[in-house]
Each structure stands twice: as C-alpha cells, then as structure tokens.
Amino acid sequence: MKNEISQLVQASLQKLRQDGILPAELPADIKIERTRDKQHGDFACNIAMMLAKPARCNPRELAQKIVANLPALDAVSKVEIAGAGFINFFLTSGSCQQVIGKIFSRKEAYGLSQKGKGKSVQVEFVSANPTGPLHVGHGRGAAYGASVADLLEAVGFDVHREYYVNDAGRQMDILAASVWLRYLELCGEEIVFPVNGYKGDYVWDIAATLHRENGDELRHSQESVFAGLPDDEPDGGDKETYIDALIARANELLGESQYRQVFELGLNTILGEIRRDLEEFGVVYQDWYSERSLTSAGAVDKVIERLKLSGHVYEKNGALWFSSTEFGDEKDRVIVRENGQTTYFASDIAYHADKLERGFDRVIDIWGADHHGYVPRVKAALKALGDDDSKLDVLLVQFAILYRDGKKAQMSTRSGEFVTLRELRNEVGNDAARFFYVMRKCEQHMDFDLDLAKSRSSENPVYYIQYAHARICSVFRQMKEKKIQRDSERGQASLGMLAESHEADLMMALVKYPEVVEKAAMNHEPHQLAHFLRELANLLHTYYNAHAFLVDDDNLRDARLNLIDATRQVLANGLKLLGVSAPEAM
C-alpha cells in the first residue's frame, strides 16, 4: 500500500515537472509514512514541505498542486492537506478487508517477503568459549541473534547461522589444567588452586567424570606437579606466567595423549552442555565452526603470510605485529607472540577472511558490547588483505542486568559464581526469557526483571500476547461446544459487515505486519516486532471485550470469526519469529 501511494505521488510530481511547475531536475525522495493520529488519515506524505524551498513556493500551495495531479486509486477514499503542508491519505474502509483472505491463503507464510532474495548472509552469534556454561549475558546474544537470523530468513535472505568454537587457544589449556588439578584433588592430592584457573563447580563435575573413568591413572604427586614452578599472584608472582608454567607441567607429566584426553573431556563436556542449552532455547545453527579446524587447515598461517605479503606486518620485541593503525585502529596488534604462539586475533583474522572467501553477500557478527574495541582491528585486517570490509556488520549487544526483588542479582565471573542461562530458563521459562531479551533494542543496557518475567499476570507482556492467541483458540472451542457451524466463505463474503472501529483497527494492524517484519529484519531490530505484537494483542483484547463473536447473525459471526482467525495466524507467525510459543490454551 505504501508503495502504491508512493507511486501516485511520483506520478503527480512527474506531471508537475512536465508542466514546468517544478524544475525538471528536482530530487524527490518520496517518503510515505503511517500516521500516528487517525485524524491525519492512514498515510501521510511530507514531500510538499521538502520541495517547497527548492521549488520556491509555499508548501501548502505546492501540496494543492500535487493533490490536484494525483491519479485515482480505489483504495484511497480521501486526500487532505493539513498542517504545514502534509498530504494525508485516507483509505476506504474496505481496502483492508482483503488482508484476511491473503492471510488465509498464505497461512504461516503471511509476512514473509522476497526482499533479500538471492542474497546470502552469515550470522555468527554467541560463540562463547567452551570453558564454562553459558550465562545470562550469552543468553541475550543468543535470543537476539536467533531472532535477527530468523527475521532475515523471513524476508528472503539465505541465512547461515554459525557458532565459532574457540577450541584451540590458551583458555582451553587453562580449562584442561583446571580439570586436571581438581582431578588430583579427588585423588587425594593437596592442591593450591591457581588464581587464574576456572573455579566453577562444573570443573569439579568434569574432574569427577575423569576420575570415574580413569581411576588414578592420571595421578601425579603434588610435589611433582608444583616443583620448580614460579610464584602465583598471591605469592608475588605473575598469574599468567604461573598458569602457563602449570600448563606446560601438565603436558610434561601427562604426555601428549593423556593431556589430550583431559583437554578433550573438558571441551566436549562443556560444548555438549552449550549445545543442549541453546537447542532447548530454540536456537539452532547450521554450523559449529571449529577454531582448531582453521589452524589445522593452515588457514591461520596462510593469512599471516598474506598479511606479510601485503607489507603491513613487522617484527618488534620478538613478536610479529600487524600495523592496524594504518587502517584506522588505535594501536598496532600482535599476531604472533614472542613465544611463537599465534594470538586469538590471528585466528579471528583467518576466520573472517574465510567467511568472505565462502562468498557470503553479508556477514554479521553479534558480539557483547565489551568487545567493541575489537571491531576496528578486524575491519583493519580485512582491509589489509584487500577484502571488502563493508560486507561485515558487527552488532554489539549491551549487558543485561538481572533484578530480583528490586535488587541486582549480578554475576561475578571471578568466583565462578554466575547466573547461568539454564538457571534463568528454569526460573522464568524459555518463552519469557526469549521475549524479554528481545524486547529491548540491543544497544539498550537492559534491566531484566526476573519477578516480572515469572509473573503469570497482566504485567507480563509475554503472557499478554500469548493470552490473546489462546483466547482466540478458546472462542473456536466454544463454537464447537455450542455446535455452531462455521462457514469461512460466507464470512469472506460478509466482511463488509465489519464496520466497527475495533475491526478496522485490527485489520489495519494485520496489513501492517509484513511492513513490521521487513523493517525489523533490515534494521536488525527484533524489538520492533515485539512491540507490534503487544499492540496487536491489545487490539484483540479490546475487541474481545467490546463485541461478542459468537453472535446469532450467521453472516456477521462468520465475518468476525474470520477476522480473529486471521489475527490468531499473525500472532502465531510473529511469536514464532521471536522463538516464543503460541499456546492454544493457558
């Protein structure tokens, strides 16, 4: 509808140009907006005000001329000029009715479009290190990423969802060492746990599995483990140096094969839990992309070579640096450490180069906002490699702060005590969690009210929307109980009887739905859909209270049933895009 009106205005402007009333070369970016106030009709156009100055005439007069030259359109009942020069379009009451038939024929496909047809987009999100369970911060990225991906798919993009598994770096070695030390404690050795180790309870669990499956086979005396190591932080040493030495000692004592065994057990256990968590949360991936596979395929070495050839790397203090400042970064970055190990950044360059090599039209990374400083260096690397960094969008998700009883229920990674995603899901349920996470735009620091998310009352927007869906289903159950025969075609033929303002408002909202999906998708803003669904639910509840649906008049009843059936479909479609269920009864 927006497009059709836009074309009317376009045609009128064209006519005015031909008649010499407007300069021929006048740029006209026609914007048709939905009005906020119904008094201003259904759509408004501000073009007259935009062109008034360049055309050197009074905006209201120009609006008059534009209106006078508008071609007719059946759906438009009235065009008015208002305010400083707005052109307001009023639609005929019948113009929205056809949406119901459209929804019936498209069903769960109503709202989908072809905007992104033929274009591929890769969406990488969560990608938490498999060194511990997902916490509530990851949950926001998961819910947001999943909805963004689903929205993009809804508007026709070929979407590839990916989780980058950091199964190679030093953090994984620290995990392996932590598991082994806990295992040694289970064996009865007395261990002073390193400051930098992973202290969460899940490490004990993995260690217990290790002990159960291997008995004392991996046991070494505490003396042999700690002999000759540098001091840990509490003793005045450096915790990083200390943990590296501890990892080296573990390798030495266990040997390659046993060390791998510990390492793999840690990785596989945690990754398995992460997969299960996300799956239960309704988050699916096409690919779990392993960092190790990147390394073993030589991709990291290859990309370092490419950077060397590009002339943007240099050696300093025994390390290899990438001069990212040449491409807008604040400082140069190390890609190969003094000890010969490549940095996480080096892997990430290889990974991003690989993404582009795979030929995606768009690449989207969804990161926690604490990584924002990382964006310029990744883009710098792509530029240095001669890749098109404009294909990459990095969406930063701000933190979520949990509140319980009006007080912060915050996590502290240090002690290993944090609220996990699983705890959150168990507490408030998947639906509430998915919806709450996505209710706020991602740049917004979010206050996640646990009590509100849990409450099964009107305060809770998730239940409010789901209730609207369930209520409609309930009406149809009532209909069957009362042995009322529904005739959908008769309803379609009687849509003209839907003359109440509640009905017009509801139909208009249904018409609007595809526009909302498209806008939410293109702007990566699922919260827009969340807000829309709340409005739609509100219109339904209002209508429900104002009018009975199961009335005696067969024609009117079937028309109304068609309207609420269509509403039910749209509620279900919208909730699905947000990963929230649409229950038939509550």
Name the residue type at position 373: G
Both structure tokens of 7:
């074309």
Q: Please say which residue, 19 or 330, places its beta carbon nearer to RNA.
A: 330
Q: How many residues bind RNA (CB under 7 A)?
A: 90
User: Least CB distance from residue 464 to RNA, whole Å?
Assistant: 5
For the four alpha carbons of 518, 521, 522 and 527, in that order, the dihedral sign comes to positive
Regarding 413 and contact with RNA (CB under 7 A), the answer is no
Minimum CB distance to RNA, residue 324 (Å): 11
From 116-124, 199-207, 271-279, 325-333, span contacting RNA (CB under 7 A): 325-333
Neighbours of 195 (CB within 10 A): 16
Q: Does 374 interact with RNA (rule: CB under 7 A)?
A: yes
Shorter beta-carbon distance to RNA: residue 218 or 436: 436
Name the phi and psi angles at 77, rounded to 5. Answer: -95, -30
Q: Does 135 bind RNA (CB under 7 A)?
A: no
When asked if residue 344 is in the footprint of RNA (CB under 7 A), the reply is yes
352 lines the binding site for RNA (CB under 7 A): no
Rounded to the nearest angstrom, the gap between the alpha carbon of residue 362 and the centroid of all alpha carbons in its chain is 15
Q: Cα–Cα distance between 440 and 428 in angstroms, integer?
A: 17
Among 69-77, 292-300, 371-379, 381-389, which window interacts with RNA (CB under 7 A)?
A: 371-379
Should residue 548 be labelled a site residue for RNA when binding is judged by CB under 7 A?
A: yes
Minimum distance, C-beta of residue 121 to RNA, in the bound complex (Å): 19
Residue 263 binds RNA, judged by CB under 7 A: no
Tell me: does residue 239 bind RNA (CB under 7 A): no
3-class secondary-structure state, position 505: helix
Stretch that binds RNA, among 33-41, 248-256, 278-286, 415-423 (CB under 7 A): 33-41
Tell the smallest beta-carbon distance from residue 17 to RNA (Å): 20
The answer to whether residue 408 forms part of the interface with RNA (CB under 7 A) is no
Helix spans in 311-374 (H): 344-357
Task: Name the residue nearer to RNA (CB basis): 187 or 349.
Answer: 349
For the window 470-499, what string marks contact with RNA as x by the rule CB under 7 A? Answer: xx-xxx-xx---------------------
Find the binding residues for RNA in span 63-92 (CB under 7 A). 82-84, 86, 88
According to CB under 7 A, which one of 287, 357, 459, 553 is a site residue for RNA?
Answer: 459
Task: Find the shortest distance in angstroms from Cβ 11 to RNA.
Answer: 20
For residues 92 and 542, which CB has a smaller minimum distance to RNA in the complex?
Answer: 542
Contacts (CB under 7 A) with RNA, residues 150-169: 166, 169
Tokens of 239: 């915790």
Exactly one of 104, 226, 327, 544 binds RNA (CB under 7 A); that residue is 544
Edge-first strand listing for the sheet containing 319-322: 313-316, 319-322, 333-336
Structure tokens given for 569: 């479909």
Q: Does 16 bind RNA (CB under 7 A)?
A: no
CA gap 485, 554 in Å, rounded: 9
- 35, 77, 325, 492: which one binds RNA (CB under 7 A): 35
Contacting residues for 104 by C-beta, under 8 A, at least 6 apart: 488, 562, 565, 566, 569
Tokens coding 406:
């009006």
Write down the least CB distance from residue 77 to RNA, Å: 16
Query: Which tokens hold the place of 573?
Result: 């479609």
DSSP 8-state symbol, 372? G
**H or E segment at 316?**
strand 313-316
β strands within 391-467, DSSP E: 392-397, 400-404, 407-408, 446-449
Chain positions 520 to 539 lying near RNA, rule: CB under 7 A, are 523, 525, 527-528, 531, 534, 538
Instruction: Please identify, among the stretches 11-19, 41-49, 493-501, 569-577, the one whose residues bind RNA according to the rule CB under 7 A.
Output: 41-49
Characterize the bridge pairing of strands 362-368 and 392-397.
parallel
Residue closer to RNA by CB (options 308, 337) is: 337
Q: Sign of the C-alpha dihedral, residues 378, 379, 383, 386? A: positive
The stretch among 17-25, 135-143, 263-271, 438-446 that binds RNA (CB under 7 A) is 438-446
Least Å from the CB of residue 477 to RNA: 7
Q: Are 33 and 44 in contact (CB under 8 A)?
A: yes
The dihedral region occupied by 402, where left means phi > 0, alpha psi between -120 and 50, and beta the remainder, is beta
Minimum distance, C-beta of residue 36 to RNA, in the bound complex (Å)? 6
Contact criterion met (CB below 8 Å) for 526 and 582: no
CA distance 24 to 7: 18
Q: Is the CB of residue 125 less than 8 Å from the CB of residue 366?
A: yes
When asked if residue 57 is in the footprint of RNA (CB under 7 A), the reply is: no
Residue 463 binds to RNA (criterion: CB under 7 A): yes
546 belongs to the binding site for RNA (CB under 7 A): yes
CB atoms closer than 10 angstroms to residue 101: 14
Q: Is residue 338 involved in binding RNA (CB under 7 A)? A: yes
User: Rule CB under 7 A: which of 376-405 touch RNA?
Assistant: 396, 398-399
Binding RNA by CB under 7 A: which of 467, 567, 572, 582? 467
Report d(CA 449, CA 138) in Å as an integer.
17
Contact 333, 322 (CB under 8 A): yes
Which of 218/476 has CB closer to RNA?
A: 476
